[in-house]
Structure 1
Amino acid sequence: MSLARMIQSAMVWLVASFYGSIMLVIMTLSAIRRGPRAFFGYKVRQDRPKCLDDPDLGTHGYVRLESSGLRFHYVAAGERDKPLMLCLHGFPECWYSWRHQLKEFRNSYRVVAPDLRGYGETESPQPFGYRGWPNFSMPHLTNDVRELIAALGYSSCTLVAHDWGGMVAWNFAIDHPDLVDKLIVMNIPHPGIFAKYLTTHFSQFRRSWYMFLFQLPWLPETLVKSFDFEMITDTFKGKEMGCRCSDAITDEDIEAFKYTFARPGANISGAINYYRASRKTPPRSYRGMKVTCPTLMIWGDQDGALEVGLTEGTDKFVPDFTLKVVPGASHWVQQDQPEVVIGIMRDWLKE
């Protein structure tokens, strides 16, 4: 490991420890105020929310990938002879975050929304827990997409992605340009922009506190599960991060996302290990990070986690680039204002 890399790792751990100390105090005070039983009293959800089995969203399927041996779960809508639209979700979500797109584009595409590695009904590689972070490095994640496309019977796709799924999609489009016909990313910057922006904009550095906190062992898992996964409720409906349209996320939708992490046998560490692996593996070089396929970026300008400024400079990496900002939409743009996002997608895909 180079000296620069050692210094960077030390700084990440220093910042992570700082936020971890603050969060420990907050969690302890919350446990005292509301009671230890409430703090640790999350429930394992035996029954699936009915919305996850809505036949209008498509049919459930499973495929086992060759290299990893992991069984992937997905929901697919549309005829098999139509071109593939592959939709990758973010954190803390699952395939269900694409429910509006599954219904809308099924007439033109074979729309497939998988649970990513370690999420929902898709298996998580062993070892579980903090020690399993090496299995969530970007090469593993992009290879999952490559094998998924082939396992579904296609040679390429229109790739649609949001948040962490968007980061996987960016890297996949860079490494496998022949497998991506068109790319649509939502509220996630190009990887060549994010690291530099983080170090030059303190406001974004402050917003990214959770990315550093998630580097620590066991504490992030405890935080996410505390008060029966209250963090998930706050994420989608809270003042800072939540959807701006009050009726965008229903109580049943919240239960669907909680079920992802609280179903029998669920492993919350898998989702958190995406963040751990991103900070523990060397960053890729800025060279050779061009995306050659036509690319649409959709960005909700009320994102509580990622600033709109992260969109600037994307055209340096993407020659055929279109940016559409959705006023008044949160980080969860495709769920917050689905009609607007679908309209943008439809018009751009026609072009």
Structure 2
Amino acid sequence: MLTERGLSERELVVNGVRLHLVEAGPADGPLVVLLHGFPEFWRAWERQIGPLARAGFRVVVPDLRGYNLSEKPPGVAAYRLHTLQSDVAALIRALGHERVGHERAHVVGHDWGGIIAWALAIRQPEVVERLVILNAPHPAAARRVFRKPAQWRRSWYIFFFQLPWLPERFLHRFGAWALHGTNPAAYTDRDRQLYRQAWDQPGAATAMINYYRAMGRPGRSPGKSQGRGEKDEQVRVPTLVLWGERDAALLPELADGLERWVPDLRVVRLPRASHWVMRDEPVRVNNLLTGFLSAPPTATAVRAILES
């Protein structure tokens, strides 16, 4: 059980999978769902949870399927993007049934959590109030940039993760390398110990890597939307993109030109931050999050609501 002040935890079964959740903030506050990436778990957001809760938001932070204390269904097919997106949509609906007026949520995603958040806003916008993305590519932008050798050189690990059993053996070593950022205080020794414990949960290593195996199946590429073209990849909710420009895995140009698909967009680049932007610059990220999520609806957002 959690001992941190102001946090509670529980489990919910949604979309046929049991998810572990950490929650904070007033029960009647606007709902914010924070989605972590690889190789993290809910603690990816531990420096954002408190500030958002104190700002009046109801903060819900799941371990995504396969991670830490959430259920780990067997097989690569259980980790396809459509399924991951459906998990989050079902979670928002379940939380909405508990609190009238919470049928939609502010969705904040980093890395794989950001990929899922983009997919959710594109395919199930009815559950998304506002969208915040941290260092995760929009699918159409990814298709454009992932053609470049410079990006593939940064994405070498995607090929490695297609191998059977061997990536699991190297997860501790790769995870420790991956969490290296620009801020020496981003991850303490205690943080790293907790991450290793999460990676060592039975079945977690295979489940986490299966995200990449599902993405890398024949006929798919990291930027390929499942049967959709660019005209179907519009995001019609207010969107904030935060991009750490010292990202070792993703080229900065993945944040360029997004207005083509996201008309109600603000992009903030953090030149001193790495891929782990919310860890490298937590104060700035927290200020940007609370400001954006608390702002009045934009004209574009009002039109989208009226047209829905």
The TM-score, its normalising length taken from structure 1, stands at 0.78
1:256-289 CA distance string (max 9 Å, x none): 11111113x2431111111111122643322310
1:57-112 CA distance string (max 9 Å, x none): 511111112x42x2110100012111110000000000001101110011311101
1:155-179 CA distance string (max 9 Å, x none): 1100001000000000000011111
Whole-angstrom distance in 1 between the partners of 2:214 and 2:257: 26
Whole-angstrom distance in 1 between the partners of 2:5 and 2:274: 26
1:238-258 CA distance string (max 9 Å, x none): xxxx12111121001111111
- Equivalent position to 1:169, from 114, 117, 123: 117
Find out whether 1:147 has 2:100 as its counterpart: no
Whole-angstrom distance in 2 between the partners of 1:349 and 1:71: 28
What is the correspondence of 1:315-334 to structure 2 with a 5 Å cutoff?
315-334=259-278
Which residue does the alignment assign to 2:76? 133
Find out whether 1:213 has 2:160 as its counterpart: yes
Question: Contact 1:94/1:260 (CA < 8 Å) preserved in 2?
Answer: yes
The structural deviation recorded for 1:346 is 2.1
What residue identity is the alignment partner of 1:259? Answer: Q
Where in structure 2 are there 5+ consecutive unaligned residues?
97-101, 296-308
Structure with bigger helix share is 1
What residue identity is the alignment partner of 1:122? Answer: S
Number of residues paired by the alignment?
282
SS at match of 1:268: helix
What residue identity is the alignment partner of 1:340? Answer: R
SS at match of 2:90: helix
Whole-angstrom distance in 1 between the partners of 2:70 and 2:63: 6
Find out whether 1:223 has 2:167 as its counterpart: no
Find out whether 1:250 has 2:188 as its counterpart: yes
The structural deviation recorded for 1:326 is 1.0
Question: Contact 2:85/2:120 (CA < 8 Å) preserved in 1?
Answer: yes
Find out whether 1:277 has 2:277 as its counterpart: no
Question: Contact 1:115/1:122 (CA < 8 Å) preserved in 2?
Answer: yes
The structural deviation recorded for 1:336 is 1.2
What residue identity is the alignment partner of 1:64? Answer: V
What residue identity is the alignment partner of 1:317? Answer: W
The structural deviation recorded for 1:234 is 2.0
Find out whether 1:181 has 2:181 as its counterpart: no
Whole-angstrom distance in 2 between the partners of 1:172 and 1:145: 8
Question: Contact 2:6/2:25 (CA < 8 Å) preserved in 1?
Answer: no
Whole-angstrom distance in 2 between the partners of 1:232 and 1:57: 29
1:263-321 CA distance string (max 9 Å, x none): 3x243111111111112264332231000000000011111111111111211000001
Question: Contact 1:57/1:99 (CA < 8 Å) preserved in 2?
Answer: no
SS at match of 1:215: coil
Find out whether 1:53 has 2:2 as its counterpart: yes
SS at match of 1:106: helix
Return the index of the structure with the highest Cα Rg: 1
1:195-230 CA distance string (max 9 Å, x none): 22111x211110010011111111211121xxxx23
- Equivalent position to 1:287, from 220, 223, 231: 231
What is the correspondence of 1:1-351 to structure 2 with a 5 Å cutoff?
53-56=2-5, 58-65=7-14, 67-68=15-16, 70-107=17-54, 108-126=56-74, 132-153=75-96, 154-199=102-147, 201-224=148-171, 229-236=172-179, 242-263=180-201, 265-280=202-217, 282=220, 283-284=224-225, 285=228, 286-351=230-295
Question: Contact 1:260/1:266 (CA < 8 Å) preserved in 2?
Answer: no
The TM-score, its normalising length taken from structure 2, stands at 0.88
Whole-angstrom distance in 1 between the partners of 2:166 and 2:139: 27
Where in structure 1 are there 5+ consecutive unaligned residues?
1-51, 127-131, 237-241
Q: After the TM superposition, which parts of structure 1 deviate over 3 Å for at least 4 consecutive aligned residues?
A: none
What residue identity is the alignment partner of 2:206? Answer: S
1:104-124 CA distance string (max 9 Å, x none): 011311101100010010001
Identity of paired residues, percent? 37
Give the root-mean-square deviation of aligned CA atoms. Answer: 1.4
The worse-fitting range, judged by mean Cα deviation, of 83-92 and 152-161 is 152-161
SS at match of 2:153: helix
1:3-31 CA distance string (max 9 Å, x none): xxxxxxxxxxxxxxxxxxxxxxxxxxxxx
